[in-house]
Amino acid sequence: MSAISDRYDRAAARYQKWWAPVLEETAVRVLDRLAGKLPLDEPQRIVDIGTGTGTLVLEALRRWPQSSLTGTDASSGMIVGARERARTELAPADQERLSLVVAEADRLPFADASFDAAVSSFVFQLVPDRAAAFREVRRVLRPGGLLVFVTWMLSDIRFAADEAFFDVVDELRIPDQDGPEEDRTGDLVSPRSAADQLRRVGYRDVSAAQEWLEYRFDRVAYVDFLEEYGESDLFRSLEPRMRRRLRQRATERLESLPATDFDWRVPVVMAVARRG
């Protein structure tokens, strides 16, 4: 198991509560791009690479009512979370159209040309070899099949709420926390870089563009977000007294910020490509 898979196994429930809502509006734009190219009223075979707790597959089941959906994720914990959401959010007939599989993006357990389309949100920055993952997705697409994805773009944009929190960390002289090393490709440098990588492994009709993820965090709940998800390793590393002190000082500092300091706006890359 990789360090990344282990991290997401442990965080699956917290991911669904704290992080999935941050990504959701931007993630489902992937399906907006696909809807214009893949008929909604015909049976389709769609695979979601890195499904997490199921945001894209569950929404795709609603949009393509005659289609079969497959969600894959390297984290078994995420697949458990997606399966639980499917049980609670989907009608039994829709659940029958869904398959959830634990699988790495570069080692998919499917035959060649198994799918009409592949979608993915915020995953291709996590894989150890993005080109290998793109090739593997291409393999399981039928000729002419579509890949649509969104992922992070490198950025040095500052987020005032986080800066305020880490000012408190520095004031309290809390040491840096080094987690296990993660073997990952990293964020995309630019839309052009994304398009070039896709073309190099055999995709055609490639388009990629910079878009924005915008999300307003709840000022009151932001310390809860940090403690339970965003900086959970840091909080867990502290003995109880220091943990309480960090939470108190961070709450005081964050409450002094204007509401606009909790507006997070970061660039992402949205890409569409067709298997050549």
CATH number of the domain bearing residue 80: 3.40.50.150
Q: Is residue 226 part of a domain?
A: no
- Can you give the pLDDT at residue 132? 98
| Percent of all residues in the chain with a pLDDT value above 70, rounded to a whole number | 98
pLDDT tens-digit series, residues 32-75: 999 989 999 999 999 999 999 999 999 999 999 999 999 999 99
Cβ–Cβ < 8 Å for 119, 242: no
Per the domain annotation, does 177 fall within a domain?
A: no
In a domain, 132, yes or no: yes
Within-domain flag for 164 = no
What residues make up the domain containing 87?
A: 3-156+182-216+264-275
Short-list 275, 271, 274, 226, CA closest to 123? 271
Mean per-residue pLDDT over the chain, rounded: 95
The confidence score (pLDDT) of residue 121 equals 98
For the cut 90, the answer to whether the pLDDT of residue 7 exceeds it is no
pLDDT at 259 over 60: yes
93's enclosing H/E stretch is: helix 92-95
Number of domains composing the chain: 1
Q: Does residue 244 lie in a domain region?
A: no
Work out the percent of the chain whose per-residue pLDDT is above 90.
91
Cα→Cα distances 174→120, 170, 240, Å:
37, 6, 13
Determine the average pLDDT of the residues in 215-233. Answer: 96
- Is the pLDDT score of 179 beyond 70? no
Asked whether residue 18 is domain-assigned, the answer is yes
CA distances from 14 to 19, 20, 151, 227, 232 (A): 8, 9, 21, 11, 10
pLDDT of residue 143: 97
Place of tokens 């995709």: 203
DSSP 104: B
Q: What is the Cα–Cα distance from 170 to 237, expressed in whole angstroms?
A: 15
241: in domain: no
Give 11-33 as a 3 state SS string: HHHHHHHHHHHHHHHHHCHHHHH
- pLDDT for 180 equals 62
Tell me the CA distances in angstroms from 260 to 24, 203, 227, one per residue in order: 21, 41, 21
User: Does residue 1 surpass a pLDDT of 60?
Assistant: no
In a domain, 247, yes or no: no
Query: pLDDT band at residue 178, thresholds of 50, 70 and 90?
Result: low
pLDDT tens across 115-155, in order?
999 999 999 999 999 999 999 999 999 999 999 999 999 99
| Count, residues in the chain | 276
Euclidean distance between CA atoms 102 and 158, whole angstroms: 35
